[in-house]
């Protein structure tokens, strides 16, 4: 079993690259005073790719909800993210076929990835008051 502490799985301010826009201060000067740096969200260091993707998806979602036009660049970016995620899921499916030790884990991995890829019919989640099948 992996004995790594959970803290090592997420970047720390010391390990993460410093934000060049605010030089690590997390502040951004405007005509109305200091605000959180728009590039690092006020943290002073660059967020992980996961965080950047989540921020951009939320920005696009909020813009769309507010009736603003989603740009062609936004759509291209979203399609690129979907393609990358589907490629990763195909890799998971391929790896799960090679897992010789625990077929239940391999089956669960493959079914989860195939369901996300739309390659198997997904079943509705069991109701809370029903026992698992
Ligand atoms: Zn910054």
Q: Quote the ligand 1 centre to 53 CA distance (angstroms).
A: 17
| Dist. CA 54 → ligand 1 center (Å) | 17
Q: What is the pTM of this model?
A: 0.59
The DSSP bridge pattern shows strands 33-36 and 27-30 to be antiparallel
- Write down the pLDDT at residue 2: 40
Instruction: Enter the DSSP assignment of 46.
Output: P
Q: Regarding predicted confidence, which is higher, 119 or 13?
A: 119
- How far is CA 15 from each of CA 20, 45, 59, 74, rounded to the nearest angstrom? 15, 9, 27, 30
- Report residue 50 as tokens: 């996961």
- List residues bridging with 27 in a β-sheet: 36
Q: What is the pLDDT of residues 77-116, one digit of tens each?
A: 999 999 999 998 888 888 888 777 777 888 888 888 888 8
pLDDT at residue number 129 = 59
Distance from residue 81's CA to the centre of ligand 1 (Å): 24
Per-residue pLDDT tens over the stretch 35-84: 999 888 899 998 888 888 888 999 999 999 999 999 999 999 999 999 99
């Amino acid at each position: 079993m992996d004995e790594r502490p959970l803290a090592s799985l997420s970047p720390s301010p010391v390990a993460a690259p410093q934000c060049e826009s605010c030089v690590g201060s997390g502040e951004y000067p405007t005509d109305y005073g200091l605000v959180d740096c728009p590039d690092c969200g006020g943290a002073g260091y660059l967020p992980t790719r996961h965080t950047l993707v989540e921020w951009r998806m939320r920005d696009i979602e909020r813009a769309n909800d507010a009736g603003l036009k989603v740009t062609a660049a936004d759509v291209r970016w979203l399609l690129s993210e979907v393609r990358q995620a589907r490629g990763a899921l195909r890799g998971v499916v391929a790896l799960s076929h090679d897992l010789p030790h625990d077929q239940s884990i391999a089956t669960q991995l493959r079914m989860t990835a195939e369901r996300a890829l739309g390659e198997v019919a997904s079943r509705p989640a069991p109701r809370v008051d029903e026992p698992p099948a």
